[in-house]
Amino acid sequence: MTIELDASRREFPPFSLQRLMETCFGRGNGERLCILIDLPDPREIKDFAFLQDQRLSIQNYGYEVFYKGFKNGGLEAMNYVGGEIFAYKETGGSNLDMEDDCYAPDGTHLSLDRDIYPKYDLILCVSTFSATAPLTAKCKEFGFRGATLHGLNQIILETGLSVDYDVVSEQAERLRLGLTRADWFEIDFVVEGRTSTLRLLTDGQEAQKSHGLCPPGRPDVANLPAGEVYFVPEGAEGEFPFKYDEETLGLLTVTGGKIISSRLIYGDYAKIEAHNAKLKHDPMTGALGELGFGTQVLPFSGRDIQDEKILGTIHIATGRDDHLGGKLTPDMFKERLNASHDDVLYAPHKTPEVKVPEVRMHRDGETIVIMGNYKPGAYMIDLLTQETTATVGA
C-alpha cells in the first residue's frame, strides 16, 4: 500500500452519496432519515424559498446533494425511509445550543425535541454553524445517529466527502496509537521573529479520533469531513498568537488552562480590548477545550471543517468540550452565546504570518518532535507508513 502525502498529486473518486452513507453508517436497514439545515429565518424553508438566496450556498448543498439525492431514488437504493428536510434558526456561533423550533417545507411549525429527534434514526445536519456539540448531547438523549456537515462547499464535496472512510479510520487510528497517553504537548509559534510556546497537559489520557465511521448499535454523531486525533487538555500554560482578522494579531497568555489576557502584536487595538473585556466578564470563554491534529491528505478548502483535518495542521479550541468527553458544559458560561466551541486553526493558508517550527510530544519519559512548519515530522510519517511505501510531497 502506498500513502500519498502530497494532496496536489492525489486523485479523488467522484462524490457518491451512497458510498458515503454506506461507509460511514453501514447499509441501511429501513431506518428513518432526515436532513436539517439552519437558516437566518427558518420559516423560509416554506416552498424552498431559501433557494433564491445566493448567500445560502451551504443550505443549497443540503437541498441539492442530500435532500434531492435521497428523494431521487437514494432512499430505496440505500434502504432508508423518510428523507424529509427541516430548518431551524441558525445559532450565530459554533456549537451553540439550537432553539427547539423548526419548520417543514409546507410551513408546518415543529419541535426538534418532540417531532424530529425521537422520530428519526439518522439525522444529517448541513449548516453554516457547527451543531456537533448540541446534536451529540441530543443523540445520547434520544438514541439517533447522525452527522454534522457545516460549511459544505464544492471542494469539500469533491475531496473530503469523496474519500474512503475505512482508510481514513485506519490512518487516524495509527496516529492515535502513536500519540495516545502523552503527558504533554508543546507548540512553538514564531511571529515577527518572536517565539512563544504553549504547553498543553494531557496527563496520560487516551487520545480520541474523529474518523467518520458511525456504525449501527449506539447513538453517535460524526463530524464530516473527518480525520483528526484530539485530546481534551487537563491544563495549559504559556502563550500563543491569535488571528482576529486579516489585519489584527494578538498574543494570548494562558494560565491554569485558560486564556487570561490578550495583548496586541499588530492591528486594531479595539479588538484586543473587546477580547479582554469578554475574558474578564466571562472567564470560561478562555478555557482551552481541545487540542487536535489533522490526519488526512486533502486540499485546503477555505473551511475549517475540512482544513483542520489536514495532516500537518493543528488546532486549539476554546469553550465547551462536553461533546468531546470534557467537563466544560454550557451552564458554566455566564451567557448562552458564550457557550460555543471555537476551533483556532493553524495552517499555512489560514495563518501564513504565524510560523510553527516545532510541535513536541512528551510520553514515556521521552520528548519527540512530531510536526514542524505545517508538515508531519518523521515520527508521524513512520506511524502512517509502517509496512508501506510513502511518497512525501515537497
Place of cell 486540499: 299
What are the beta bridge partners of residue 344? Answer: 316
pTM here is 0.94
Give the chain's mean pLDDT.
Answer: 95
* Alpha helix (H) residue ranges in 111-164: 132-142, 154-158
pLDDT reported for residue 8:
83
pLDDT reported for residue 392:
37
Q: How far is CA 274 from CA 243, 268, 280, in A?
A: 14, 11, 10
pLDDT per residue over 148-178, tens digit each? Answer: 999 999 999 999 999 999 999 999 999 999 9
CB-CB contact of 291 with 231 (8 Å): yes
pLDDT per residue over 268-279, tens digit each? Answer: 999 999 999 999
| Domain chopping of the chain, boundaries | 2-158, 165-391
pLDDT reported for residue 291:
98
- HEC string of 24-57 equals HHCCCCCEEEEEEEEECCHHHHHHHHHHHCCCCH
pLDDT reported for residue 7:
85
Mean pLDDT calculated for residue range 75-80: 96
Q: Check pLDDT > 60 for residue 195.
A: yes
Q: If pLDDT is split at 50, 70 and 90, which confidence band does 23 have?
A: very high
Our CA angle for 375, 341, 35, nearest 5°, is 95
Residues contacting 162, CB < 8 A, separation 6+: 12, 13, 14, 15, 16, 20
> Residue 281 class from Cβ within 10 Å (0-12 exposed, 13-18 middle, 19+ buried)?
exposed
pLDDT per residue over 370-384, tens digit each? Answer: 999 999 999 999 999
Our CA angle for 23, 26, 27, nearest 5°, is 115
Q: What is the C-alpha separation between 381 and 321, in angstroms, rounded?
A: 29
pLDDT reported for residue 3:
67
Q: Check pLDDT > 80 for residue 116.
A: yes
- Percent of the chain residues topping a pLDDT of 90: 93
pLDDT reported for residue 178:
98
